[in-house]
Amino acid sequence: MKLFPTILLLFFITLMVDVLSYEWDSDELECVEKLNIPKSVVEDNHPFQKTSPEDNTDLNKYYECMWKKSGYLHEDGTFDWDKMLDFFVELQQEDVEKNKSDSDETLVANLAITYVKGVINTCRNKHIHGDTHGETAVKVHNCLVEEFDKTKFED
């Protein structure tokens, strides 16, 4: 019976290492350095599969920088929902192409496309807008996380 606590401990250690470590890509580092934002601002809000505080000015600036780099947020602060939708659909289409001989995988990928379209359109229809471009980016992020969170798939 000592095996279970050991496995549980290893699981939590692995989880903590994942949460505490953050791998920076060049765009992220560029935004942090350009904005002179402590890395901890981003690391403290990792993973990005959770909502982020909308009142953190530094984090808002970081989101603005990153989302403008990705093309999702335009210079005028408007959000490009179609670009985001295209990104997710292309990811799923790649799965469909890889697994086109497997009808179950193709069905799952096509359902995922429909689901993602619904999530993105739900957030789009909320006409999200913040006081700053960065706040808009965080609010959009939070809407997407909340909408994706509403559906939990069971194994």
**What is the domain-level CATH number for residue 110?**
1.10.238.20
pLDDT at residue 57 is higher than 90: yes
Q: Quote the pTM value.
A: 0.76
Would 14 be classed as within a structural domain?
A: no
Would 16 be classed as within a structural domain?
A: no
Question: In terms of residue numbers, what domain contains 46?
Answer: 25-149
Would 93 be classed as within a structural domain?
A: yes
pLDDT bin (cut points 50, 70, 90) of residue 48 is: low
Would 11 be classed as within a structural domain?
A: no
Would 71 be classed as within a structural domain?
A: yes
Query: SS in 3 state form for the chain?
Result: CCHHHHHHHHHHHHHHHHHHCCCCCHHHHHHHHHHCCCHHHHHCCCCCCCCCCCCCHHHHHHHHHHHHHHCCECCCCCECHHHHHHHHHHHHHHHHHHCCCCHHHHHHHHHHHHHHHHHHHHHHCCCCCCCCHHHHHHHHHHHHHHHHHCCCCCC
Provide the pLDDT for residue 113: 84
Would 66 be classed as within a structural domain?
A: yes
Number of domains comprising the chain: 1
pLDDT at residue 47 is higher than 80: no
